[in-house]
Amino acid sequence: MNQKKAWLYLLPSLVLLGAFLVYPLIDVFIYSLEEGFNFASQTYFGVGTYNYQYVLHDPYFLQALKNTFILVIITVPVSTGLALVISTGLSSIRPLRQLYQTVYFLPYVTNTLAVGLVFMVLFQKTEYTDGLVNLVLAWFGQGPVDFINGPYWAKMFVLCFYTVWVVMPFKILVLTSALASVNPDYYKAARVDGTSRLRTFTRITLPMIAPMLVYLVITGFIGAFKAYSDAVALFGTDLNAAGMNTIVGYVYDMLYGSSGGYPSYASAAAILLFVIVLTITCINLLVSRRQHWT
Amino acid sequence: MRQHADFERLERSALRRSRRLRAVTYVGLTIWALVVLFPFYWMVLTSLKSYGSYNSEHTPVFFTLSPTLENYWEAFTAVPLGGYLLNTLIFSVITTAIMVVVSTLAAYAFARLEFKGKNLLFALFLSMMMIPSELVVITNFVTITNLDLRNSFPGLILPSITSVFYIYLLKENFEQVPDELYRAAKVDGTSDLKYLWKVMIPICRPTLVTITILKIIECWNSYVWPRLITDNQAYFLVSNGIQEIRENGFGRENIPAMMAAVVVISVPLIVLFLIFRKKIMEGVSRGGMKG
Amino acid sequence: MKIRLENLTKRFPNRGKKARGEMTAVENLTFEIPDGTLVGLLGPSGCGKTTTLNMICGLEKPTSGQIFFGEEDVTALPPELRGVGMVFQNYALYPHLTVLQNILFPLENLKGEARPSREEMRRRALETAALVQIEELLDRRPKELSGGQQQRVAIARALVKMPRVLLLDEPLSNLDARLRLQTREEICKIQKKTGITTLFVTHDQEEAMSISDRIVVMKGGVLMQEGAPQQVYDDPASLFVSKFLGTPPINVFTGEVRQGKLLLDDQPVLDTPGVSDRAVWVGVRPEGFLPQADGPVQCALTRVEVLGRDVSIVCTHPASQNGAVRAIIRSEQEVDASAAQVRFALRPDKVFLFDRDSEVRIPVAGTGREAGQ
C-alpha cells in the first residue's frame, strides 16, 4: 500500500527524467555510432566510429576546440583570481559592503543574450562610430580596433572579458561566504603571534578556503568548456563564419540551422566534449586530493 | 619614556598603513562596481537617445540632454517584443509551477515515505545531476520533432521541467522537519497528502520560494533549448527575440531601439532580484550554477 | 611578570539599529596579578571576563585605564609586542598544519634579529612539545587528536615564544568531565614548571578554586572580589560571591537581626554581636550545620544522602530562599533518617550576613576575619 503510494509520488519526476534525461543519455551514444544517419527517413547504413573521425577532422570542430581551450585557459584563472581579490577586499570592509555585494551580483540575474548586445555595442566599430572602448583606447593613443568583426585576438579578448564579467557574481558570492565562515579565532591567534597580513592570508586564509577554491576551479572549468551563449550574444548565431565557435556551438550547429541536420555528428561532438570535461575534472580532483585534512 | 614614544610612532605608522590599505581596497572595489554597472548605464543611456542623435555621435557621448522614449515605442511596435515577453512569462510561470509540484512530490517521497530501493533510487537521482544538458539535448530535439511539438509550448516546457538539484534541495529541507510531527499527524489520521500540504509545505516555504525564484530566473534566461525548438517568431522567448532583433532587427541597424528592448528584457529580473536579494543570493551560494 | 590593571574600562558602541549608545563591558577594573602565579578570572557568562582577557592580550583596546606588565605600560602596545601567549577556547589550531608546524608558526613570524635559526626554532618547538608531553604527536594534524591533546598543542604553541604572560580563555570548557580533571592538573603542573604568570578565564567556580593561586570574581563588568580561593570562600564580600563559590551552593535564608541576635523564622539561632537591628540575607555553608538534639534551627527532614565520605541532609526550612536546605555532615554523626524533624546548631564562621538591599556583607564581631573589601 505504502509502497505503491511512494511510487505514485515519484511517478511524474520519474517519467520526465526518464524521457528527457536518461533515455537521451543512452540514445546519444547510439546516435554517435550510427553511420550515415538520415534524419528525414530515420535510417542509417552502418555502425562504427566514422562520426568521431569526421568530427575530429572537421576544421570547424578543430577551430571550436581551439577557441574553447583558449577561453578556458584564460577565463578560469583570471576570474577565480579576480574573485579572490575582490572578495578578500569585500570581507575587509564594513560600510557599503552590502551595496557592493548587491551590485556585484547583478550580472547573475541578467539575460546573457541581452547584455551581450550591450557589450557588442561598446566594443563594436562601425562606419558611424568607433565605439566607446575605442574612444578609451584613443585616450591612451591606441588605434581603433574592431573587436567584433576584426582580428582574432581582439574578438577572443571580448569573449573572455564578457565571460569573466558573467561568471564573477557566482565566484564572488561563494568566496565571500567561504571567507566569512573562517573562524575569527584563527585571525586572533595569528594577531597575538604577530603574523603579518600577507602571511596571515597565504598561510591561514588561503588554506582554509582552499576547498571552495577547488570547487570554483572545477565548476569554472566545466562552465567554460560549455561556453556558447556568450559567444552568440557577441558575434551572432553564425559563429563558424566569425571563427568564434565553441564546442557546444558546433554541436548545435550540427543539429540545427543552416548547417544542421546531422544528429550523429552532433552526438559524437557532444560525447567528445563530455570526455574532455570528465578528464579535466578528474585531473582537478586528483591534484586537489592532497588536502586530505578537510 | 623614550621607549614609549617609539611605540606611539610605531602605532601611528601602522594606523597610517592600514588606512592606506583601506583606501586602496575601496578604490579597487569601486572600479569593479563600475565595470559591472557601466553596461547597464550604457544600455539605459543609449535607449534614451534618439536614432538620429545616436548615429550622429561619431565620438560616444556619456550623457544625453534630450532623453526620448520613442525607442521604447519602437521596440514594442516595430518588433513583437510584447509577444516575446508574454511567451517568456507563460513559459516561465508554467514550467516553474509544474517543476515545484513535481519536485515537491518526489522530495516528499524521498524524505518521508518508505519504499524498497529508496536509497538506490536516490543515488541514481544524484548521479543524474552530473549529466550535462549538452548530451541530452540532441535526442530531446529529435524526440520533440518526432512528436510534432516544435513551435509549441508543450515542446518548450516538457524537457525544461525537471531539475534534480531542486529535488535534492527540497528533500534535505523536508528531512529537517522532525519525525514526531509526522507520527503525530499519522496518529490523528491525517493523510500523507494532507500532511504534505498542511505541515511540510508551510514549514519549508522559504526553500520553496527560493527554488521558485531560481527556476524563474533560469527560465527567463534560457536560450539554447528555445532556439532549437522554435523557428516561428510567435513562439520566441526573449533571448531568441533579442537575437532575432539583433540579426534582422528594425529593418536597419537601430541601436537605441535595440537597447530599449534590452532594458525591457532586463528590468523584470533586476526588480525580482532587488526584492528577493537575500533569498536569491543564499540559494545560489548553496549550489546554483549559471546556465 | 607582574600584571597590574588600573581603572580599566571598555565600552562598545551599541550595534542595535534603534538604540544608539554604548554598552559597558568592563567598568573601572583594578587588580594585580603577582609574578609567577596562576590566577583564575571567574564570573558568570557576559560578565566581561573575556573582554578583560582580550584587553590584557592586546586584541581589544581599552576605552580608558592602563595595563602594566611589571613596570612597563603596555596599554598601547599591539599584541605581538606584549609577549603574551594565548590559548583560545576552541584552541584555534590551524587544521591544515601538523602539530609541529602549528607550534613553529609563532616562531616563523619573528623578523630580523629576533628570528631564530631553523635549527633553533626546531629545538625550541621540540622542547616545548616535551614540556606538554606531545612529542609523539608532532606529525599528526589537529583533526586526529583528542580534545585534551589539542589543548596541549595549543598551550605549546602559546608557550613556544617564551611569553611573559600566558592567557587561557575557558581552557577546559570543550573537554568532557573526566578529561577536565586531568587537564586542569596538567595546566597547574605546566604553570608551576615554567613559573610563567598565567591568567585563565572560566565560569566554573570549582575549576577556578581547585588550581588557582588567586581568583578574581567579576559580575556585570565590575570586580566583585579578589584573593586566594580559600580566603574568598571563607570570607565572601557579597551575597553574589558567596552564592557563586562552593558546591553544593550556600544556603540562603531571609533573616532578621534583633538585639544582637539573628532570627530565622522568628527563632533566635545565633548571637551576632555588634550588628544593628535590620533585615538581612543569611548565608549558611552546607558544612556550617551541626546536628544537635536541642539545636535552634529546626528543619523538616526530606531525605538523607550517603555520599561515602560525607552525608548530605536535605531538608526544608520556612525561611529558606532556595527551596531545599542542604547540610553536609560527617558520617559518624548519626542522624535518624526516619525522623520527621532534624535540629541543627550553626557554626558562626560558616554563617554570613548580608544587607537586604545592597547585598553587601555585614561584619559580625568575633567571627574570625573581618569582611573583605
pLDDT, tens digit, 9 for 90 and up, residues B249-276: 776 678 899 999 999 999 999 999 999 9
Query: What is the predicted pLDDT for the residue at B274?
Result: 93
Burial of A279 (0-12, 13-18, 19+ CB in 10 A): exposed
pLDDT at B92 over 60: yes
- Asked if C255 and C321 touch (Cβ cutoff 8 Å), the reply is no
* Cα end-to-end span (Å), chain C: 25
Query: What is the predicted pLDDT for the residue at B5?
Result: 60
Q: Tell me, what DSSP letter sits at residue C250?
A: P
Calpha distance C107→A125 (Å, rounded)? 59
pTM of the model: 0.85
Interface of C with B (CB under 8 A): 72-73, 76-78, 81
Chain B partners within 8 Å of A278 (Cβ): none
Q: Cα-atom radius of gyration of chain C, to the nearest Å? A: 25
Beta bridge partners of residue C343, listed in sequence order: C298
Q: Looking at CA atoms only, how far is residue C107 from chain A in angstroms?
A: 8
Q: Looking at CA atoms only, how far is residue B22 from chain C in angstroms?
A: 19
Beta bridge partners of residue C31, listed in sequence order: C5
Query: Which domains does chain C show, CATH number per domain?
Result: 3-239 (3.40.50.300), 249-362 (no CATH)
Q: Looking at CA atoms only, how far is residue B281 from chain A in angstroms?
A: 7
**Pairing state between β C310-316 and C222-227:** unpaired
**Tens-digit pLDDT profile for chain A (294 aa)?**
678 888 889 999 999 999 999 999 998 988 888 887 776 667 777 788 888 999 999 999 999 999 999 999 999 999 999 999 999 999 998 889 999 999 999 999 999 999 999 999 999 888 777 888 888 888 888 878 888 888 999 999 999 999 999 999 999 999 999 999 899 999 999 988 888 889 999 999 999 999 889 889 988 998 999 999 999 999 988 888 889 999 999 999 888 767 777 888 899 999 999 999 999 888 888 887 765 444
- Asked if B250 and B78 touch (Cβ cutoff 8 Å), the reply is yes
**Nearest to residue B50, comparing CAs of B61, B37, B36, B38?**
B61
Calpha distance B94→B215 (Å, rounded)? 11
Q: Does A180 touch chain B (CB under 8 A)?
A: no
Calpha distance A219→A222 (Å, rounded)? 5
Residue A106 exposure: Cα atoms within 13 Å on the Cβ side: 22
The mean predicted confidence, pLDDT, of chain B is 87
DSSP secondary structure of C331-351: TTS---TT-SEEEEEE-GGGE
8 Å CB contact of C78 and B8? no
ipTM score for this prediction:
0.90
8 Å CB contact of C92 and A199? no
The position carrying cell 515545484 is B100
Interface B-C, measured as beta-carbon pairs within 8 A, has a size of: 12
Query: What is the predicted pLDDT for the residue at B254?
Result: 85
8 Å CB contact of A21 and B221? no
Mean pLDDT of B162-178: 88
8 Å CB contact of A135 and B60? yes
**Letter for the amino acid at B115?**
F
Other beta carbons less than 10 A from residue C312's beta carbon: 15
Is the backbone of residue C128 left (phi > 0), alpha (psi -120 to 50) or beta?
alpha
Calpha distance A212→A291 (Å, rounded)? 12
Other beta carbons less than 10 A from residue C174's beta carbon: 15
Beta bridge partners of residue C344, listed in sequence order: C291, C297
**Tens-digit pLDDT profile for chain C (373 aa)?**
899 999 999 998 876 555 567 888 999 999 999 999 999 999 988 888 989 999 999 888 899 999 999 999 998 888 888 889 999 988 999 998 999 999 999 998 888 778 889 999 999 999 999 988 898 999 999 999 988 899 999 999 999 988 999 999 988 888 888 888 888 888 899 999 999 999 999 988 888 888 899 999 999 889 999 999 999 999 999 999 999 998 889 999 999 999 888 998 888 888 888 888 889 999 999 999 988 888 889 899 888 888 778 888 999 998 888 888 999 988 666 677 778 888 899 998 899 999 999 999 998 876 654 444 3
8 Å CB contact of C92 and A293? no
Share above pLDDT 70 across residues of chain B, in percent, rounded to a whole number: 95
pLDDT at B291 over 70: no
Query: What is the predicted pLDDT for the residue at A137?
Result: 87
> In which band, very low, low, confident or very high, does the pLDDT at B41 lie, cut at 50, 70 and 90?
very high
Q: pLDDT: is C213 or B186 the higher one?
A: C213
8 Å CB contact of A223 and B164? no
When CB atoms are compared, the residue of C85, C88, C161 closest to A188 is C88
C-alpha pair distances (Å), B211 with each of A217, B96, B171 = 25, 9, 12
Mean pLDDT of B169-191: 85
Calpha distance C268→C259 (Å, rounded)? 10
DSSP secondary structure of B83-98: HHHHHHHHHHHHHHHH
8 Å CB contact of A185 and C80? no
Q: Where are the beta strands (DSSP E) in C64-161?
A: 64-69, 72-73, 84-87
Query: What is the predicted pLDDT for the residue at B2?
Result: 45
**Letter for the amino acid at B198?**
K
